[in-house]
Structure 1
Amino acid sequence: MREVPEVPDTPDVPELTQERPGRGPTARVPFQVVEVTGPSMVPTLHHGDWLLVQYGATVRPGDVVILRHPFQQDLLVVKRAAERRRGGWWVLADNTFAGGDSTDYGVVPEELVLARVRARYRPLRKDQRSVWSVVAWAVSALRPVSAARSVSSRLRAR
């Protein structure tokens, strides 16, 4: 009888399988769509925004990331990776009044930083009914999220 190697479960990294021509029969692309809840990343992200996140992507200072809360690891949070320090990442909320970042819980270990945010989609609100508000929404609904395009004053101040 032939022995089949055991494949470890990776429930934390959802994978979409898709065909990629010229790169083997199937390649796994670790992307997922998540929804933002709470005000900690305003003005960059708002409650109800949808994010396209990439698991396993290289994180650089200024990137918006998804991480496990260091003290409540069943809770996923979105923060900005401010700088790499001994022991992991110093992460900050863009909204200084919201808290819940490294100023409260210190350096986040590297293994708790799960994904990098690639894009933000802001859904149309029910109160946006005028032609101009719909046009304004259409222009800004989908945006890449990067340190270079950040609207965070906290990031610019560093």
Structure 2
Amino acid sequence: MQEQVDERGQELDRERRGLLRIGLAEVYNPSMVPTLNPGDQLVVQYGAAVRPGDVVVLRHPFRQDLLIVKRAVERRAGGWWVMGDNPLVENDSREFGAVPEDFVVARAWVRLRRPPEAGQRSVGTLLSWLVSALRPVRSGSPTDTLSRLSRRLRAR
């Protein structure tokens, strides 16, 4: 049986049968620090419903061949307003405006941290990595992340 494919390259038969479409995405830039770091991998669900606060993978509005990871902040007339959790990086809706809903490819479920470098693989480092390597991607806004970070800094 041949699968039918829509204009985004997604298989229509699987969508009709309700099968989960899950994949991996890698984070390459620091726009989502401190939530995600370059080298982290995300377990994502393609075509999942998006709610404000979700971390999503989407096509860049100016370069649709480039996939980016951002937080969906709110739905607006033109689509989703997305922002990175790192306030110093403005490669988000502050630069390109709302992103059409069709550009949202997937929603992140879980973050997988990359393992420590070969030279840093002591028993303590590996145990620490194992404890924190697999974490659900929490919903929240960039301001929530900044509040947590600033509270952490004030406490030190």
**What interval of TM-score do these two structures reach, taking the shorter chain for normalisation?**
0.7 to 0.9
Counterpart selection for 2:102 from 111, 124, 136: 111
The residue matched to 1:139 in structure 2 has which SS?
A: helix
Distance 2:3 2:121 in 1: 54
Q: Deviations over 1:3-29 (max 9, x none)?
A: x998235664489x8xxxxxxxx7632
Q: Which ranges in structure 2 are unaligned for 5 or more consecutive residues?
A: 150-156
Q: Identity across aligned pairs (percent)? A: 50
Give the TM-score taking structure 1 as reference length.
Answer: 0.79
Q: How many residues were matched structurally?
A: 145
More helix by share: 2
Q: What residue number does 1:78 align with? A: 69
CA separation of 1:103 and 1:132: change in aligned 2, threshold 3 A: same
The residue matched to 2:102 in structure 1 has which SS?
A: helix
Q: Which ranges in structure 1 are unaligned for 5 or more consecutive residues?
A: 18-25
Q: What residue number does 1:94 align with? A: 85
Distance 2:48 2:102 in 1: 13
Q: What residue number does 1:152 align with? A: 145
CA separation of 1:132 and 1:81: change in aligned 2, threshold 3 A: same
Give the TM-score taking structure 2 as reference length.
Answer: 0.80
RMSD over aligned Cα atoms: 3.1
Distance 2:2 2:126 in 1: 54
Q: Deviations over 1:93-137 (max 9, x none)?
A: 111112200000000011101110000101212143222222111
Structure with max Cα Rg: 1
The residue matched to 1:90 in structure 2 has which SS?
A: strand
Distance 1:39 1:33 in 2: 18
Structure 1 residue 34, shift from structure 2 partner? 1.4
Residue pair 1:82, 1:155 contacting (<8 A) in 2 also? no
